[in-house]
Amino acid sequence: MEAFLQLESVVYTDQYRLKVDISGDGEIVIVQGPHLDGIQLRRYDDLHIEEVLEKRGEGVLTPNGRWLVFGDVIYDLQTREWEKFDEVQEEYKLLSISPNSHYLGYTTSYEYEVDWITIYALPFSKGGRKVCYPQEVCDTRDYLMHISKVDFSADNQWGVCCCGIDLDVPPGWMGNVFVISTQKEKIKWRVSIEAQQMVDEEAEERGNYLFGYLLEALFVGEEVVCVSTKGLLVFLDAETGEFIRSMKLDVRRVYEMKKNHDGTALVIRTDKGLQFVPIPAKTQK
């Protein structure tokens, strides 16, 4: 019994949060934490530290386990080399990664306007390209203020975003949803979403709407779903952008929307906790 309970190795931590990932080949354990001097690359077998990378913020591991993405640079766990993006600015960025790990999606915003969307193709070492979409692609309105992350289709050929503004002009406008190509600068479709304006006095003072503005958009099989800050879900045809249906959650505020691990439900974080919305089987791919 004593031999069974004997510890083979110990990794000492403290009260700070650790983020642990495993490389795609299963040989490296990546350890990150705000209290660590750098990013630790440990051998999987014995947790011995092989290398400590320079700290560049929190890295995001691609689904294939090959690249660590840090804003404007990536680290290749196969070649053990850094590669820097060109023309990725230091302002506010939202990063997303395609299912096949070949595309990175960035939306870059300033305080009062959205600047651009950039989709990078990996790996850079083999001539990976980029596709840039200026603000005009998102919307023709001058007062655009919010844009979501890029969500990629299952075939990695398209990305979907939504945009909106938390102001009272124009009345009833919640924002736009649009599907863009990862291969070249091409818009597949763009749809404007509008809703009934609130009429109560408190709402008029806030200058807000009954359904808020568009917050996030996702591919769900053959459909695109977008959610507003006040819980309105709008489902559109992924090929054409045609309206399919809508529903309103019984919440006051939505903070985030994701798909669950097997794509059978939407998981929505709200002021009333997590809300689960099943995705019909015929919609799933």
Task: Provide the pLDDT for residue 35.
Answer: 83
**Three-class SS of residue 199?**
coil
Structure tokens at 177: 């949803």
Low-confidence ranges of the chain (pLDDT < 70): 1-16, 85-93, 109-115, 124-128, 137-145, 166-171, 196-209, 282-285
CATH number among 2.130.10.10, 3.40.640.10, 3.40.50.2300, 1.10.10.10, domain 136-285: 2.130.10.10
CA 266 to chain centre: 14
Q: What share of the chain in percent tops pLDDT 70?
A: 75
Distance in angstroms (rounded) separating the CA atoms of residues 76 and 74: 7
Task: Provide the pLDDT for residue 44.
Answer: 93
Where do you find CATH 2.130.10.10 in the chain? Answer: 136-285
Task: Provide the pLDDT for residue 16.
Answer: 62
Residue 112 buriedness (CB in 10 A; 0-12 / 13-18 / 19+)? exposed
42: Cβ contacts below 8 Å, ≥ 6 apart: 28, 29, 30, 31, 48, 49, 50
Measuring CA to CA, how many Å separate 165 from each of 48, 113, 168, 234, 275?
A: 50, 10, 9, 17, 24
Q: Is the pTM of this model over 0.85?
A: no
pLDDT, tens only, 28-87: 999 998 888 899 999 999 999 999 998 877 888 999 999 998 877 889 999 999 887 665
> What strands, in cross-sheet order, belong to the sheet with 67-70?
60-61, 67-70, 73-76, 81-84
User: What's the alpha-carbon Rg for the chain, to the nearest Å?
Assistant: 21
